[in-house]
Amino acid sequence: MMPAVAEERRAPRVVGVEFPFGHAFGPPGDKITQRRVLELALRVLGGAASFGTRVDFDLEWPVPEREAYRAWQPAEPSPIVRKLIEARRGSNA
């Protein structure tokens, strides 16, 4: 997830998984995908030869991006998001 951020933070080994937040290993109940991600992470852990090795997982999330984005959002905005929204409203008033 967010492999570019992991690289920026200098993670020594990165598996790029472009899945929604909260779902690093795959959809609920999908043991095949979860296992594939886990096995790829283990191969990268055990086999990477140098700092910054990145291997991207080759499966896209099985739900359109906009729909997936809405699905991973919490029911209520997080406190920091709420604070930022209120600050923006204040500056626009």
Give contact residues for another protein (rule: CB under 8 A). Answer: 1-2, 6, 11-12, 21-29, 31, 34-35, 38-39, 41-43, 45-48, 50-51, 71-76, 78-83
* Beta carbon nearer to another protein, 6 or 55: 6
The angle formed by the CA atoms of residues 14, 18 and 24, to the nearest 5 degrees, is 70
Rounded to a whole number of angstroms, the minimum distance from the CB of residue 59 to another protein is 14
* Least Å from the CB of residue 25 to another protein: 5
| 3-state secondary structure at position 53 | strand
**Could you give the 3-state DSSP secondary structure of residue 43?**
helix
Structure tokens at 45: 């852990």
